[in-house]
Amino acid sequence: MNRARLAVVFLLMLAACGDRTERPPLSQPLLAALAQARSYHHLADLHLANGAPERAVEALERLLAVPFPAGAPEGEDALLDARARLAKLHLAQGRPDVARRVVDEGLAGTPRESFFLANLYSVSGELAEARAHTLDAVDPDAARAERRAAIVAHERSIQINERIQRRLTEERQ
Amino acid sequence: MSGPVDDDDDELEAKVSPREQAEAARLARLVDDLLDGAPAPAAMESETRLLLQAAQRIRDAGPPAMAPARREAVLDAAFARWPRARVWPWVAATVLAAAAAFVLALRPPSPRVADELVSRPADRLVGRIAAADSAAARARADLLYADRLAGYRRIVLRGGSR
């Protein structure tokens, strides 16, 4: 039993020694992926300006497939931002269900809290509000449920924003 | 049967009345005599006779029988040394862990890279996203790219490009 305890202590020491969570330096693959994301946003803008929202949607969907370096926080942030824009575009084109899928996939695959995640929750709330508005006339109960979902999403967004803001303030001090 | 009472029984004994203790001692003497081969008294209470008969039957049955293989296994388990096969993995793990800790301790610390030169979340750069700017991802993408490009250029200029 003593031997087991000793081994555990050694392993903990080892973990402590190895716990050097160094972030990788900025790299060419990261810059290339960020440049691609930026280009797709510009492309989407041009298509929207030309009155071709479907082409803008295509551009943003291609952005979602940009291969960011694994674990790069910038990549996660850029993809969340693209999802928020794409969802709003789908909603504006009368496709609330597609917009919901785009948002939910982003929320489900992102454990790290950020302003971008809070923004996506905010868009999620907007989608629920829009859905409630369309349900008001046909199904008041469902409309109320959607409004409750919207409230939850907006509150989540506010909480995340507050936590991130607090953390950034603490880091600055 | 008539030996000293175990310490564990002190509490129980304290709750037994003197009369009960005397009765228990008398019964113990009868059982001891019976086990020594003395005949049972001719006259006794029926309850006492039943107890003596139970003691006699237990004595006649002898010790519980155990198969030889089972007995050997029990004895081996009780007296065998700790097998070496169970010790060596612990020894090896301990030695390896100590060696790894030693190597890590001797490893020179890697030079600290400035924050603006590493991959990191964009929260500080972008700030809180207002609802009105929710879909203004293009502006944020521009800002993020410009910031990271500036950091990357510094890495390249100082010869640390990867």
- Write the pLDDT tens digit of every residue in A33-56: 999 999 999 999 999 999 999 999
Q: What pLDDT does B2 receive?
A: 44
CB-neighbour burial class of residue A120 (10 A; exposed 0-12, middle 13-18, buried 19+): buried
Q: Is B121 on the interface with A (CB under 8 A)?
A: yes
Residue A96 clears pLDDT 50, i.e. is over it: yes
CA–CA distance from B39 to each of B23, B34, B159 (Å)?
A: 20, 6, 108
Chain B hits for A4, CB-CB cut-off 8 Å, are: 90
What is the pLDDT confidence band of residue B50, given thresholds at 50, 70 and 90? confident
What's the average model confidence in pLDDT over A152-167?
Answer: 97
Residue B110 clears pLDDT 90, i.e. is over it: no
B128 vs A11: CB contact, 8 Å cut-off?
no
- The whole-model pTM stands at 0.62
Residue B7 distance to chain A (closest CA, Å): 30
Which amino acid, residue B157?
A: L
Q: What pLDDT does B114 receive?
A: 83
Rg (CA), chain B: 43
User: Which residues are registered as beta bridge partners of B118?
Assistant: A25
**Rounded Cα–Cα distance for residues B105 and B109 (Å):** 9
Q: What pLDDT does B35 receive?
A: 75
Residue B77 distance to chain A (closest CA, Å): 18
Q: Which is more confident, B92 or A141?
A: A141
The mean predicted confidence, pLDDT, of chain A is 91
Q: Is the dihedral of CA A60, A61, A63, A64 positive or negative?
A: positive
What is the pLDDT confidence band of residue A13, given thresholds at 50, 70 and 90? low
Chain A hits for B144, CB-CB cut-off 8 Å, are: 34, 38, 74, 77-78
Q: What pLDDT does B24 receive?
A: 82
Residue B131 clears pLDDT 80, i.e. is over it: yes
Residue A83 CB: number of other CB atoms within 10 A?
27
Distance of CA A18 to the CA centre of its chain: 30
Contact status, residue B147 vs residue B125, Cβ threshold 8 Å: yes
What's the average model confidence in pLDDT over B52-72?
Answer: 77
Which amino acid, residue A98?
A: V
Unique residue bearing structure tokens 């797709």: A40
